Amino acid sequence: MEYFTLTTGAKMPMAGIGTFMISSADVEPAVESALKNGVRLIDTANAYMNESATGRGIKNSGVAREEIFLVSKLWPTVYAKETAVDEMLARLQTEYVDLLFLHQPTDNWREGYKNIEKAYKEGKVKAIGLSNFPEDLLEEAIEWAEIKPHVVQVEAHPYFPQTELKKILAKHGMGLMAWSPIGHGDKNLINEPVFTELAEKYGKSNVQIILRWHVQSGNVVFPGSKNPDHIRDNFDIFDFELTDEEMTKIAAVDKNTRYYTATPELLAAYATMELKEDL
Q: Full-prediction pTM beyond 0.85?
A: yes
Q: Which amino acids are annotated catalytic? A: 48
List per-residue pLDDT tens for the chain, 279 residues long: 999 999 999 999 999 999 999 999 999 999 999 999 999 999 999 999 999 999 999 999 999 999 999 999 999 999 999 999 999 999 999 999 999 999 999 999 999 999 999 999 999 999 999 999 999 999 999 999 999 999 999 999 999 999 999 999 999 999 999 999 999 999 999 999 999 999 999 999 999 999 999 999 999 999 999 999 999 999 999 999 999 999 999 999 999 999 999 899 999 999 999 999 987
The full set of domains in the chain, from first to last, is: 3-270 (3.20.20.100)
The three-state DSSP-derived secondary structure of the chain is CCEEECCCCCEEECECEECCCCCHHHHHHHHHHHHHCCCCEEECCHHHCCHHHHHHHHHHHCCCHHHCEEEEEECHHHCCCCCHHHHHHHHHCCCCECEEEECCCCCCHHHHHHHHHHHHHCCCECCEEEECCCHHHHHHHHHHCCCCCCEEEEECECCECCHHHHHHHHHHCCEEEEECCCCCCCHHHHCCHHHHHHHHHHCCCHHHHHHHHHHHCCEEECCECCCHHHHHHHHCCCCCCCCHHHHHHHHCCCCCCCCCCCCHHHHHHHCCCCCCCCC
